[in-house]
Structure 1
Amino acid sequence: MFPKSALTLIVSLCSLAVSAQNGYKILLNAKGYKSGMAYLTYHMGKNLNVQDSAEVSSDGVAEFKGNTKLPGGIYAIVFPGKSLSYDFLVDKDQQITINADTSNLVNSEVKGSPENLLFQQYQRFVADKGRQLQQARAAYMSSTTREDSVRHEERYKVLNQELGDYRDEIVKNHPQSMMAALLKAMKEPALPTKKPVTRQDSLDNYYYYKSHYWDGVTFMDERIIRSPFFLPKLERYYRDVMPQMADSIKNDADYKLLLARTSPEMYKFLLNWLTDEYLNPKIMGHDAIFVHLFEKYHSKGLSPWLNEKQMETITRRAYMQMANLIGEKASNLIMIDSAGRKKNLYDFPAEFTIVVFWDPNCGHCKEEIPKIDSVYKATWKKKGVKVYAVMIEPGQVPVRTR
């Protein structure tokens, strides 16, 4: 008969194995510290977001652990006092030991994760090349002759090229690595070399840059979300690179979200960011983007991670905007005219109706309303254009129509 104690031992070992496989354990050895709170954080744009925390023991050890695997990305240990942080990668292997050299963090060592061996080599190379680039820039700024300026500028270009070549070598030699995925995603598209002479030349350069902006990003790799570069790259694309026309942005957003549907965290991140970006748009007409996101995704249950309050906020905002979208029929207005009669906005059939809100005590209105009146008499009236003018004054809101 199989001994009960042996069976218990096997069950315990199996439980430990399953826990190690499904969860994470990150051991920090920081000999320079004897107390305080250390934080396990992850990068997202300019911010470090806290994932976990652990008390540092008297011998400088802190342990972060959980039963669920961490999403992949660039993480950072923030040391007690929050003045130092150390970046490392989290991917499939999540039983990691970090031996921190707090006197020079570049010399720290990460064990238990092959991805971090490559990352450490990259960090050390970048740190050394970064110092050289700073020196070359400082020398250029302090140049007193044109010859010195040219020499230091060329030196800067050579160092920058060496950095780019080193990154390309990692991608070439380790194509399946997390480092390769990160480097491809962060790479800036090459600027067109064609010098624009005509307007079409400028357009060609723009379309080239836009079409290559996301080279290296599949929108199916969730690891790049937790990085310093993905969020700023996304913001710059929709705010500066994309034409600021609602239909163009809607189509582009739909395509990105379609690509991300097989990557739940990427899909969630994109839809959340797009919703927040256009909830209170800064450009007239962009409210249509928010309404589109609501109708196509949120209202159909395609954002199940949102709680009831969040959905209520999004729904209320969308319905408020629906009636005021550019190109859509405006809600009816029923006002009282100066003779005390009700006047409906749609009582006056016209191909175009201009609605003007004005206040007789408003300085801007005093300047603009006469201009509108002049244009109406000179041009709009004979073309059948109607003006529905709502006067706003304390105690009464009469309407004037022409």
Structure 2
Amino acid sequence: MKYLKFLALLIFSFAWRQNVSAQAPAYQISATIGGWEGESVYLGYRRGDKVFSRDTAELKDGRFTFEGSEPLPSGIYLVLMPPENKFFEFVVMPGEQHFSMAVQAPDFSSSLTFNGSPENRLLLEYQSYMSEQVAASKQLQEELTNAAGKEEKTALEKKLEEISQAVRSHQNELAAQHPGSYAALLIKAFQEPVIPDPPAGDDGTFRWQFFKNHYFDGFDFSQEVFVNSPYLKQKIDYYISDKLTAQLPDSVIVAVDYILEKAQANEEVFRWTLPYLLNKYFVPEVMGLDAVFVHISDKYYATGRADWVSEESRKKITDDAYMIRGVLLGKKAADVLVQPYDRKSYSFSDSLISLYDVKADYTVVFLWKPGCPHCKKTTGELIPFYNEWKDKGVEIFSITSANQSELDKAISDINYEKMPWIVTADPYMRARALQKFYGVSLPKIYLLDKDKKIIASRIGPEQLPKIIGEHKRRLAEENR
């Protein structure tokens, strides 16, 4: 009996090992690279405009093989060849995780072939077709630019239109024959809407509005493949740019909410899109659009919708939003009571001064830190500005970040730099001046009008004259 039990156990153990060894890897992608003498390559993938590393493969039996126990997320992948990091790209989809590739140096892209990947073969065929059409269209465009007569121009324009129609017809046919393929998804994602003739009485905005309303019609937000590619970012960036969205907080907020609503069709798409938009408007390219950051924080992070974010990260985001909210354009600046620097006693007075005690057409609030090289540079740039503008209705109200133990260091900087304007401190943080002006990173400059409304935020000294000049002109036009 013991012998039979031992034999059964032995057979089970052998069968188990045989089963494990027979299991194929979740993904296995091999590449043969002719004419290249490297011994190892990297597998990378795209996310937005960045490339990340995923795997490494060593040369074995004339090929490089990437494999793993978990399927690869769908997306655009690259084989990178060190040290020059030359590369070629391919697509990975859920149903195609086992295939091989072959390329020949030095022209990796044009020599690329696939075995066992209909998705990539179809994509290559489409890309080849489009390259031919783009080249033909470019040639006709050059001829059109140099055309002399009206008849010649008309003929060339007709040929261009024929190419455009042929391309669209080819795209529609490919998408219909291969629904759900990556090539079809890509075609639909970037195929522009056909704009009908505008109605009678159109004020000239119909075409633009129709294009914007139907811009995302073909883009499938439920497809995770677009996360690991440049295309989700490209589509979003164009939509929220000044080409389709007015660069005003209310307009951008509407656009952002519209995108995020669509992005929730796929959790991974939403997880990429939400932080991308949050970070984009944390330090926005257009002044005033930090209001979009505040909105995203309030609606998606403070409410717990971004449930994958740690409590520490969520608190950092919402704390930043709380402070930024107080310095948004159009808001009245906080009425802080701080200690002024007394130039006679070379110390900070115990009496307090309010920002609102300053009577000026324009007040520059300058936050700085003792010993900070960038702050010293900004101070040096502000001094000639102040000397030119102090008699033109401009005052500078500076607040040092110095605490009680750093006051001597601040005083040294004040005297060394010969700061000619109002200098103050909040060493015991009773006024919370730094917090109220979002003084997390310094230096920082805000520009206030005579009513102490914020008209410019987080700007450089070189921008002040232009902003003040434009504001004065705008006021003059309003008062005509």
The TM-score range, normalised by the shorter chain, is 0.7 to 0.9
Q: Structure 2: 5+ residue runs without aligned partners? A: 342-348, 366-382, 399-418, 425-449, 452-480
Question: How far, CA to CA, are the matches of 1:357 and 1:101 in structure 2?
Answer: 62
The match for 1:264 among 260, 264, 267 is 267
TM-score between the two structures when normalised by the length of structure 1: 0.75
1:19-168 matched pairs, under 5 angstroms: 20=25, 23-57=26-60, 60-80=62-82, 81-102=84-105, 105-106=109-110, 108-140=112-144, 147-168=151-172
- 1:168: Cα distance to partner? 1.3
Q: Does 1:215 align with 2:220?
A: no
Change (3 A) 1:314 1:71: same
Cα distance in 2 between the residues matched to 1:260 and 1:244 = 22
Q: Deviations over 1:56-106 (max 9, x none)?
A: 34x541111222222212223334543342333433321121133445744
Q: 2:240 aligns with which of 233, 238, 258?
A: 238
Distance 1:286 1:89 in 2: 37
In the alignment, is the contact (CA less than 8 A) between 1:94 and 1:112 conserved in 2? no
Provide the C-alpha distance between the structure 1 equivalents of 2:146 and 2:58, rounded to a whole number of angstroms: 47
Maintained 8 Å contact 1:42/1:76: yes
In structure 2, how many angstroms separate the alpha carbons of the residues matched to 1:115 and 1:229? 18
Question: Which residue of 1 is the match for residue 298 of structure 2?
Answer: 295
Q: CA deviation at 1:239?
A: 1.9
Matches of 1:361 and 1:286 in 2, distance apart?
A: 28
- Residues 241-256 of structure 1 aligned to structure 2 (within 5 Å): 241-256=244-259
Deviation at 1:304, TM superposition (A): 5.2
Residue 11 of structure 1 pairs with residue 31 of structure 2: no
1:268 deviation in Å?
Answer: 1.1
TM-superposition CA deviations, 1:136-195 (whole Å, max 9, x none): 445445656655554444333322332222111122222232322222112233456549
For residue 317 of structure 2, the aligned residue among 314, 319, 336 is 314
Residues in 2 aligned to 1:169 and 1:5: alpha-carbon distance in whole angstroms: 59
Structure 1 residues 222 and 346: alpha-carbon distance in aligned structure 2, compared to 1, 3 A threshold: same
Secondary structure at the aligned position of 2:53 is classed as strand
Q: Is 1:277 matched up with 2:280?
A: yes
Change (3 A) 1:206 1:136: closer
Q: Please tell me whether the aligned partners of residues 33 and 104 of structure 2 are also in contact (alpha carbons under 8 angstroms).
A: yes
CA distance in 1, matches of 2:241, 2:175: 29
For residues 223 and 187 of structure 2, the distance between their equivalents in structure 1, rounded to whole angstroms, comes to 13
Alignment match, 2:471: none
Q: TM-score, normalised by structure 2?
A: 0.65
- Judge conservation of contact 1:225–1:266 (CA < 8 Å) in 2: yes
Letter in 2 for 1:185: A
* Equivalence for 1:228: 230
Maintained 8 Å contact 1:278/1:287: yes
Change (3 A) 1:328 1:105: closer
Aligned residue for 2:363? 356
Q: Is the 8 A contact 1:26 1:95 kept in 2?
A: yes
Does structure 1 retain, via aligned residues, the 8 Å contact 2:72–2:92?
Answer: no
CA distance in structure 2 between the partners assigned to 1:31 and 1:101 by the alignment? 4
What's the counterpart of residue 186 of structure 1? 190
Q: Secondary structure at the match of 1:202?
A: coil
Q: For the residues of structure 2 that align with 1:45 and 1:150, how far apart are their CA atoms? A: 40
Question: Which of 168, 171, 178 is matched with 1:174 structurally?
Answer: 178
- Find the aligned partners of 1:315 and 1:28 in 2 and give their Cα distance: 47
Moved more, 106-115 or 157-166: 106-115
Query: Which piece of structure 1 moves more, 244-253 or 232-241?
Result: 244-253
Asked if the contact 2:175–2:187 (Cα under 8 Å) also holds between the matched residues in 1, the reply is yes
Task: Provide the C-alpha distance between the structure 2 equivalents of 1:139 and 1:390, rounded to a whole number of angstroms.
Answer: 59
Whether the aligned pair in 2 keeps the contact of 1:335 and 1:397 (CA below 8 Å) is no
Name the aligned partner's letter for residue 363 of structure 1: E
Q: Secondary structure at the match of 1:207?
A: helix
1:313-345 deviations in Å (ceiling 9; x for gaps): 53443232122234656422226899x975656
C-alpha separation between the residues in 2 aligned to 1:127 and 1:255? 34
Distance 1:278 1:347 in 2: 33
CA distance in 1, matches of 2:162, 2:301: 50
Q: Deviations over 1:201-257 (max 9, x none)?
A: 233333212111111124222212233333122112112212323233334423432
Is residue 253–residue 295 contact of structure 2 (8 Å, CA) maintained in 1?
yes
CA contact (8 A) 1:100 1:109 kept: yes
2:404 is aligned with 1:367: no
Check conservation: 1:31, 1:61, Cα contact below 8 A: no
In 2, Cα distance between the equivalents of 1:245 and 1:361? Answer: 30
Per-residue deviation at 1:46?
A: 4.6
Paired residues for 1:312-351 under 5 Å: 314-326=317-329, 330-334=333-337, 342=352, 344=354
Q: Show the counterpart of 1:373.
A: none
Task: Kindly indicate whether the alpha-carbon contact (under 8 Å) linking 1:34 and 1:60 is maintained by their aligned counterparts in 2.
Answer: no
- The residue type equivalent to 1:323 in the other structure is G
Where 1:11 maps in the other structure, the secondary structure is helix
Which residue number corresponds to residue 372 of structure 1?
Answer: none
